[in-house]
Amino acid sequence: MHRITISFDDQDYNALEADAKKKGISLSDYVAQIVHKSIISHNIDYEDMAKGYESMADINIELSGGNAE
């Protein structure tokens, strides 16, 4: 496990602390969860995802009896 020191202004710190308390977890665990979810969302390959949607659309058109081009 690695440690990183982050500085927050009072407003952000208080908001994070309040949210962590509502969830019943430590502030450090809550911030770690936020960072983890952020990393996942930033690592999504949107170009590959778009190609996947295009392929699915072609399959759906073909299944419906239409013409996919």
| Residue 4 confidence (pLDDT) above 70 | yes
Q: What integer is the mean pLDDT of 46-67?
A: 82
Q: Which domain holds residue 28?
A: 10-63
In a domain, 68, yes or no: no
Mean per-residue pLDDT over the chain, rounded? 87
In a domain, 51, yes or no: yes
Report residue 57 as tokens.
């659309």
| Residue 41 confidence (pLDDT) above 80 | no
Q: What integer is the mean pLDDT of 37-59?
A: 81
| Total domains, the chain | 1
In a domain, 58, yes or no: yes
In a domain, 4, yes or no: no
- Total-model pTM: 0.58
CA angle 42, 48, 51 (to 5 degrees): 140
* Pairwise pLDDT comparison (23 vs 56), residue with the higher score: 23
pLDDT of residue 33: 94
